[in-house]
Amino acid sequence: MIEFRKITWENFDECIHLQLTDEQKGFLASNVYSLAQSYVALLNDERPAMTFAIYDDETMIGFIMMYNDTAEENEYGDEAAYGILRFMIDRKYQNKGFGTKALQKALEYIRSFPQGEASAVYLSYAPQNEAARRLYATFGFKEIGMDEEADEMVAKLIL
Ligand SMILES: CC(C)(COP(=O)(O)OP(=O)(O)OC[C@H]1O[C@@H](n2cnc3c(N)ncnc32)[C@H](O)[C@@H]1OP(=O)(O)O)[C@@H](O)C(=O)NCCC(=O)NCCS
């Protein structure tokens, strides 16, 4: 069963050692960088980043980082929204359906509005990231255009 667990003193080391394939390394920041950003968010932002290790039963298989923006903070639209900033499944566990199950879980979590109501979810991915494009499209994400600064395609799901 897929479960999101918080990052603790017991599991953070394992989390930062989760691996992508060489081809995927350029697609997203490392888990170390993401956890460093969560720390900065914790000290400076009103709402902490929602950062979790993804487990299949007792095995850690991936990592996810989500956030909540008010309508004013949202850089892609004009509504209160959630975002999935990082999402990865360790290379050993890819292509087995875990990414699909974990994204399902993430959207259930977001729909529980843990940091307040919102009407959309945003995320972005490298244009050549076919696996991500396909996975997100399955869940109804629609591409809304390039974020030229990040050189990533932005996609939106209306809740
Ligand atoms: C994207 C990612 C999370 C998918 O995880 P996963 O566990 O492999 O996903 P699933 O096994 O549920 O497969 C989901 C879909 O992706 C496709 N897929 C998986 N790996 C793929 C690959 N290397 N190339 C092309 N398609 C791939 C599967 O075929 C499946 O599509 P289908 O349902 O049409 O067959 C994983 O590949 C990953 O961690 N990638 C690197 C990080 C990343 O790009 N994150 C997203 C952007 S932030």
- pLDDT tens-digit series, residues 10-66: 999 999 999 999 999 999 999 999 999 999 999 999 999 999 999 999 999 999 999
CA of 99 to the centre of ligand 1 (A): 6
Taken as a whole, the chain contains a residue count of 159
CA geometry: angle 132, 112, 51, nearest 5 deg: 55
Cα 50 to ligand 1 centre (Å) = 22
Q: How far is the CA of 43 from the centre of ligand 1 (A)?
A: 33
Q: What is the pLDDT of residue 88?
A: 98
What's the order of all strands across the beta sheet hosting 120-125? 2-6, 50-56, 59-69, 81-89, 120-125, 152-158, 142-147
pTM for the structure as a whole: 0.96
Compute the distance between CA of residue 126 and CA of residue 1 in angstroms, rounded to an integer.
29
Alpha helices in 7-97 (DSSP H): 12-16, 31-44
Distances (CA, A) of 75 to 2, 42, 51, 70, 149: 31, 20, 20, 10, 12
Question: How far is the C-alpha of 153 from the C-alpha of 127, rounded, in Å?
Answer: 6
Which atom number of ligand 1 is nearest to the Cα of residue 125?
47
pLDDT value of residue 121: 98
